[in-house]
Every structure is written in C-alpha cells, then in structure tokens.
C-alpha cells in the first residue's frame, strides 16, 4: 500500500537552535531547509502529491508557493525541486477542493497537462469536480441535477485528458478521477474510465464518508473492476481498514492527517504504532497570539509568563523519567497553563505522556536526535518534526499490512 503526502511546502531547518528558539542568520529556506524524506533516515511516504492549486493558486486565493518558488519548480522539475530520492514518486492533481464552489472547473485539461509535463510528474490525475454529497439509494437517473452534472463534467474531462496523453505520446501515467454519490454511481464512473483506457483510477469526494460507506462503494466497484486496475483514495486515511481496502483493489492513498494531528489535534499529537499521546504544551510567550493579546490587555504578567516558560523548558530538558521528575513536570506545566489562562487542565494527559515517554522507544532519527524536544508543543520547528515522526509511524504501519499487489490484480469477479 503506497502512501502519498500532499505537499504544502512543509520543511524544517536542520540548524534550528532549540534552546534559544532561533534560526541561523545564514539560513536560506529553500536551499537549507529539509523535507521529511531528507531529515528522516527513511522516507515516510512512497510519493508526493502536488496540487496545481497549491503551486499556481486557485479561486480561493493564492497558492502556497511564492512566484520565485513556482518558477524554480517549473525550471527544475519535481524531482530536483523536492530533491526526491530514488523510489519516491510524484503525483499531480488539480486540487479540486479549492474550486468546489464553482459551477465548472476553472482549469482546462490543456492547462493541467502543461503543469504535469512542465514539472515532470510521474503520474497525473484528470481534471475533476467534487461531489460533496452521499445518498446510497439514489439512482444514476433520479438524483440531484448538480451532482449528476459534476459527474458528467468529470467523465468528459477524463476522456479528453487520456486522449491528449495518448495522442501526444506524453511521458505521464494518466490517473482517471472518479466521482459519485453512491456505490452504483462510483462503480459506473470506474467502468466508464476503464473503457477510456485508464488502468489507475483515483476515487474522489470520499473524505466525509464513513468507513462502511467507502467499503460499500469499493465492493460495488469490484463488480466492474478489471484485473490490473489500481485504485487510489484521495484524502482518505483509515489505517485500521487498509487491509480491507486492499482486497478491493486499493493500492495507494494520500492524506495529511498524521502530519496535521501533530499540531491540530487536541490530544493525539504524538503517534506510536499502537497508541497516541498529547504533546506537552509550552507556547512561546512572544510567539503565541492568544498569550500576547492577554499580556497586552493586562490580564497576564509578561514577566511571570517568561519566567514560567523557562522553568517548564528547563524541567522538561532535565526529565529523567522518575516519579519525582514526572510530578515536577506536571506541576510546572500546570502552573504555566494557569498563567496562560488555559480553559482546562491537561494534568492527567501529561502524566500519561511523561510516564510512557514514547520518544525513548522510537527508532526514527528525529526522536533519537531530539528526545523530549519533539514532544513539546511549541512553534513550527518542533511541531512539524513531530508531524514527520507521525508519518514515519504511518509508514511502518503500512509496511506491516499484508501485500496487496497480487491481491489487487487477481481478486476480481473477472479474475
């Protein structure tokens, strides 16, 4: 099972000073900062997914790339721009979520192919239009007209996409985008895409679906899926169900969940193969907007906040795993939360994290190098590294799943 990480220009500085929370004055971000596949001993993903809307911008605003970065990507190509090691693939798509509110996609097949070929992607997804709705009982004919029109647009553009790839003999694996609102509509989309010549198909719009709904769709698709047709799940991560997904031809997926949970989740910030732990929250006094507002409003003493921030960091860096060290760390973290006017205490969750000390048991290069620093919720450099660690855990989970290559190519009603 291949995992693709959607790019959003997430890099970390290898020379960042954690004790002083400072960057090197000589740092040049694009030259010196590292991607996850560069800072970890083993790449935590099989490939990168890069959206045209991230690079070029979309209806919802500018992309994540500066004009200089965009120019470098087109000039160097994805392999050199991302410094991809051997075995890490590149997959392009349009980022249809960014124009979901439009009646028709604001990007053409020609523009999309210019992006894919201009940047040298290994594979590219056809232009699609997301259907955000699910009704398993709706037929192909009796359904919301807007849903039906989006599916027609997606299939029409997919046909134009693969025709141009074939006629122009482009060096690109075409991936057909399938949209639907039910098992029957997804299966019909896959059947039509296969007739066009697609051997790899990306299933879109499934992020909001429950696992049971996804399995229902995959089971229906399997009735029409040809031997050798591979399925990709766009934006879906259900690790506990990946074995089942693979039985129905799913060979790859993409998601940012493991990475984003490192700093977006309330509790599950630090992942292990069998568990997840809260990170130890020590926000920077001069870098936390809520805390800065409280200081400016006179609700918090800046002097007291800085003093307690330093105490927390010192205690955590001196942490030796003993009962006394756990008790002291919890007390100091709780005191800092009080100063920061945190709404609820995390004492019990901190005790669980400190007792387990999962960074000590982790074999990834980041945990070995940083120790407890990677478990501190504080600034982008620690938080992104923790996200990279989480992806390495996900990669290990994927490796332990049963091989799906033979299963996906032989298990079919037509096999």
Exposed e or buried b per residue across 76-85, where buried means at least 16 C-beta atoms within 10 angstroms of its C-beta: ebbbebbebe
Instruction: Specify the pLDDT at position 410.
Output: 42
Catalytically annotated residue among 93, 128, 188, 222 = 93
Residue from 122, 114, 81, 394 nearest 258 by CA:
394
CA distance 99 to 204: 14
CA distance 367 to 379: 17
Q: What is the pLDDT of residues 389-401, one digit of tens each?
A: 999 999 998 888 7
Query: Which pLDDT band, with edges at 50, 70 and 90, does 343 fall under?
Result: confident
What is 46-255's CATH superfamily?
A: Queuine tRNA-ribosyltransferase-like (3.20.20.105)
Q: What is the pLDDT of residues 138-174, one digit of tens each?
A: 999 899 999 999 999 999 999 999 999 999 999 999 9
Q: What is the pLDDT of residues 195-234, one digit of tens each?
A: 999 999 999 999 999 999 999 999 999 999 999 999 999 9
- The tokens of 301 are what? 């003493």
What is the percent of the chain where pLDDT is above 70? 95
- The tokens of 323 are what? 């009962």
Contact 97, 206 (CB under 8 A): no
Query: Which pLDDT band, with edges at 50, 70 and 90, does 60 fall under?
Result: low
93 is catalytic: yes
Q: What is the pLDDT of residues 94-112, one digit of tens each?
A: 999 889 999 999 999 999 9
Contact 121, 92 (CB under 8 A): yes
Q: What is the pLDDT of residues 131-143, one digit of tens each?
A: 989 999 999 989 9
Residue 27 has pLDDT above 70, yes or no: yes
CA distance 95 to 71: 19
Query: For the residues 331-338, what does the mean pLDDT come to?
Result: 96
Instruction: Specify the pLDDT at position 71.
Output: 95
CA distance 260 to 390: 9
CA distance 41 to 60: 36
Query: Which pLDDT band, with edges at 50, 70 and 90, does 405 fall under?
Result: very low
Name the H helices within 8-50.
29-32, 36-39
Residue 404 has pLDDT above 70, yes or no: no
Tokens 């991230």, residue located: 54
The more confidently predicted of residues 123 and 238 is 123
Domain ranges of the chain: 46-255, 272-395
Q: Is 361 exposed, middle or buried (0-12, 13-18, 19+ CB in 10 A)?
A: exposed
First CA to last CA distance, the chain:
20
Query: Which pLDDT band, with edges at 50, 70 and 90, does 85 fall under?
Result: very high
Q: Which residue(s) pair with 254 in the sheet?
A: 4
User: To 5 degrees, how large is the angle CA 88–CA 91–CA 92?
Assistant: 145
Q: What is the pLDDT of residues 267-298, one digit of tens each?
A: 999 999 999 999 999 999 988 888 889 999 99
CA distance 94 to 60: 13
Residue from 94, 92, 95, 10 nearest 44 by CA:
10
CA distance 214 to 101: 24
Catalytically annotated residue among 122, 128, 188, 254 = 254
CA distance 99 to 56: 13
CA distances to 41, 335, 339 from 286, in Å: 33, 18, 14
pTM: 0.92
254 is catalytic: yes
| Chain length of the chain | 415
Residue from 181, 219, 226, 182 nearest 201 by CA:
226
Residue 408 has pLDDT above 50, yes or no: no
């Amino acid at each position: 099972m291949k995992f693709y990480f959607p790019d959003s220009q997430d890099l970390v500085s290898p020379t960042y000073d954690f004790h002083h929370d400072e960057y090197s004055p000589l740092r040049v971000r694009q030259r010196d900062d590292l991607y996850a596949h560069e800072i970890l001993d083993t790449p935590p993903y099989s490939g990168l997914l890069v959206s045209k809307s991230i690079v070029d911008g979309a209806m919802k605003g500018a992309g994540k790339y500066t004009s200089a970065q965009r120019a470098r990507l087109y000039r160097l190509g994805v392999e050199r721009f991302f410094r991809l090691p051997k075995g890490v693939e590149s997959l392009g798509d349009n980022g249809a979520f960014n124009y979901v509110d439009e009646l028709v996609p604001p990007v053409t097949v020609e523009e999309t192919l210019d992006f894919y070929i201009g940047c040298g992607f290994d594979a590219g997804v056809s232009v699609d239009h997301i259907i955000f709705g699910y009704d398993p009982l709706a037929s192909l004919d009796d359904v919301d007209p807007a849903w039906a029109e989006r599916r027609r647009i997606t299939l029409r553009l997919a046909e134009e996409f693969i025709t141009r790839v074939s006629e122009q003999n482009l060096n690109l694996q075409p991936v057909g985008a399938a949209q639907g609102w039910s098992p029957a509509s997804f299966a019909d989309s896959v059947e039509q895409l296969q007739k066009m010549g697609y051997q790899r198909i990306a299933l879109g719009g499934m992020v909001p679906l429950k696992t049971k709904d996804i399995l229902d769709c995959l089971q229906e698709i399997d009735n029409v899926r040809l031997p050798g047709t591979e399925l990709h799940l766009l934006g879906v991560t259900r690790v506990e169900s990946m074995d089942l997904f693979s039985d129905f031809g799913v060979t790859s997926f993409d998601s940012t969940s493991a990475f984003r949970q490192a700093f977006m989740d309330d509790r599950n910030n630090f992942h292990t193969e069998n568990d997840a732990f809260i990170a130890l929250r020590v926000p920077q006094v001069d870098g936390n907007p809520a805390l800065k507002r409280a200081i400016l409003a006179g609700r918090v003493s800046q002097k007291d906040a800085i003093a307690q921030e330093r105490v927390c960091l010192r205690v955590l860096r001196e942490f030796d795993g003993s009962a006394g060290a756990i008790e002291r760390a919890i007390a100091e973290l709780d005191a800092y939360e009080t100063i920061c006017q945190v709404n609820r205490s995390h004492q019990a969750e901190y005790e669980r994290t400190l007792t387990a000390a999962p960074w000590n048991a982790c074999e990834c290069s980041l945990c070995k190098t940083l120790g407890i620093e990677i478990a501190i919720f504080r600034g982008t450099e620690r938080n992104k590294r923790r996200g990279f660690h989480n992806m390495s855990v996900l990669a290990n989970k994927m490796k332990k799943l049963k091989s799906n290559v033979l299963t996906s190519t032989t298990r079919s009603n037509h096999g």
